[in-house]
Structure 1
Amino acid sequence: MPSSYQGPSRKDKMSATTHSQSSESNLKHDTATVRKVLQSKGADVFALRPQNTLHEAVEMLRDKRVGALIVKDSEGKLQGILSERDIVRKLAETPGQTLAQRVEDVMTTNVETCELDDPLISVLRKMTDGRFRHMPVIDDGNLVGIVSIGDVVNYRLNELEYEALQLKQLIVG
């Protein structure tokens, strides 16, 4: 036995126990909301005007490395959304003549939006049912961000990873 070893004493059992982990604290689950996704990914919104050309839109999509752009009027009010899918459809309809067309002639004008406190599950359901991948976020009538299906999935994967770590700590102790 090493010389530094000291057997347990009565005093050891009297030490204060900590309660930093419990099954309740480890399994506590807040509802995932749009706000939480924007806090983790950022609220950058890349927008253009209805009068811009598809050529300008394609360059912005490429440069910003995003899949959709918000279309706003001169007062900053949401007019529509332009996605890669919208552009591909127009390319198929008007080959060789697409990039000169204006955004307002191609964008989706009936835009589904969500709010900061909407649960992610309802946003994901709307995206899946509507077969679209980007949704503008509105707060008090103002555009405050955009979430993609990828953002939602990534947030949930990170959440699951964290939950798995918590469960592992609970089991291991």
Structure 2
Amino acid sequence: MPESYRPPLRKDDKEARTSSQSVSSNTAVSDLRVQHLLDQKDGALHTVRPQQTLHEAVELLRVHRIGALIVTDANGALVGILSERDIVRKLADAPGKTLPHKVEDVMTRAVETCTADESLVTVLKRMTNGRFRHMPVVEGGTLSGLVTIGDVVHFRLTQLEEEALQIKQLIVG
């Protein structure tokens, strides 16, 4: 072997080494806030008044293809939430006589809310533990949005698809 030959050594690598995972990449999901999700929604809030009938509420649910309505007073303040589940319970209690009832007779009054700054993971855990699928977002006493389990799942799936694409691009080049 000639004396001028020397096999490459690790110290010869001048490029900085990178790693596929880091503390920041592994905890990025837990850093996501409700506001990130709200920024991607259309911002439409579908509301109903407590004095309206369930028939009117059911029509709104059907027309907008949603599973819950936020119940607000004349000033727009949150006073409850009316979900499909609330209506089904009333249907079981008063079969054939449900639609004439008022929203205020059926709505959930003790509404769990969150803020736009809350972690999406925390909100999802609260929804899962409480067994409800809709959570109004309230900022300074004002209703600013609605988060659903479907929104969170869709948001996360979109992120995972983007991450998978980035990984493919890194592999392919």
Q: Output the TM-score relative to the length of structure 1.
A: 0.82
Structure 1 counterpart of 2:93: 93
In structure 1, the partner of 2:43 is: 43
Asked whether 1:130 is paired with 2:147, we answer: no
Letter in 1 for 2:109: T
CA drift of 1:23 comes to 5.4
Distance 1:154 1:70 in 2: 21
User: 1:147 aligns to what?
Assistant: 147
2:59 equivalent to 1:59: yes
**How far apart, CA to CA, are the structure 1 residues paired with 2:57 and 2:37?**
25
- Please report how far the alpha carbon of residue 58 of structure 1 lies from its aligned counterpart in structure 2 after TM superposition: 0.2
2 CA distance for matches of 1:117 and 1:170?
32
Partner in structure 2 of residue 118 of structure 1: 118
Gaps of 5+ in 2: 1-18
How far the C-alpha of 1:42 sits from its partner, in A, is 2.0
Q: Work out the CA distance in 2 between the residues paired with 1:167 and 1:85.
A: 41
**Mapped contact 1:46–1:69 kept (Cα < 8 A):** yes
Deviation at 1:101, TM superposition (A): 0.3
Q: Percent identity?
A: 60
Q: Helix, strand or coil for the counterpart of 2:109?
A: coil
Count of residue correspondences = 152
Please, which runs of 5 or more residues in structure 1 have no aligned partner? 1-21
TM-score normalised to structure 2 length: 0.82
Report 1 or 2 for greater relative contact order, CA contacts < 8 Å, sequence distance ≥ 6.
Answer: 1
> Which residue identity does 2:43 align to in structure 1?
A
Specify the alignment match of 1:103 in structure 2.
103
Question: Aligned residue for 2:69?
Answer: 69
Mapped contact 1:116–1:139 kept (Cα < 8 A):
yes
Secondary structure, aligned partner of 1:85: helix
1:17: which partner in 2?
Answer: none
Stretches of 4+ aligned residues off by more than 3 angstroms? 22-25, 27-30
| Worse-superposed segment, 31-40 or 77-86 | 31-40
Q: Is the 8 A contact 1:23 1:170 kept in 2?
A: no
Alpha-carbon distance in 1 for matches of 2:166, 2:20: 9
Does the 8 A contact of 1:52 with 1:102 survive in 2? Answer: yes
Shift of 1:49: 0.6
CA distance in 2: counterparts of 1:42 and 1:147, whole angstroms: 12
